[in-house]
Amino acid sequence: MPAVVVDHQSTAFGQHLAAVLPRQVEVEQDEVGLHVADLLERLFGAEVAEGTISSALSISDVWKVSSSAGTNHKLWAAKFAARHPNLIPVELSNFKCGHDAFISRVVEQITECAGKPHFCFRDIDENKPTAALRIRIETIGYFLKQYRKQLAGN
């Protein structure tokens, strides 16, 4: 499952999209195209120029110990979604005490520092996930409408 999916038509019209931050993420650096490189420059270029991070793909500013590829990808996806003007991060995890427990607060801080709402859904029902996901999607929809009103100054 990709960590971040950007629909260029939606972002061109200023709509907000949810960026799902799953645990298992397959990212191939070779797949980064020119348009993505330009986007990474816009989102992370100032920090690279200042020397805060060594590259747009670095997470060293939020996580010093890179021991798990899944954790690293999830943290980077949170940084990307937090900086992108049309994405709202949504963190998913099956367990509060599993692999993601120790980075959950970091993901929340990344999101909050960007001034965006933080959505985190843990303990998703493994037996009947449809109903659990449906209510979570409705919740996200409601809060994104409120966030849009807040951005518009209403």
Q: Is residue 103 within 8 Å of residue 74, measured between CB atoms?
A: yes
In whole angstroms, how large is the CA radius of gyration of the chain? 16
- H or E, element range at 18: strand 17-21
Top pLDDT among 13 and 127 is at 127
Top pLDDT among 130 and 33 is at 130
Return the domain boundaries, the chain. Answer: 8-152
> What SS3 state is found at 92?
strand
- As a whole number, mean pLDDT of residues 59-82 equals 86
For residue 36, is pLDDT > 60? Answer: yes
> Which residues are CB-neighbours of 39 under 8 A, at least 6 positions away?
6, 84
For residue 45, is pLDDT > 60? Answer: yes
pLDDT given at position 18:
55
User: Which pLDDT tens digit goes with each residue over 109-138?
Assistant: 999 999 988 888 776 666 667 777 788 888
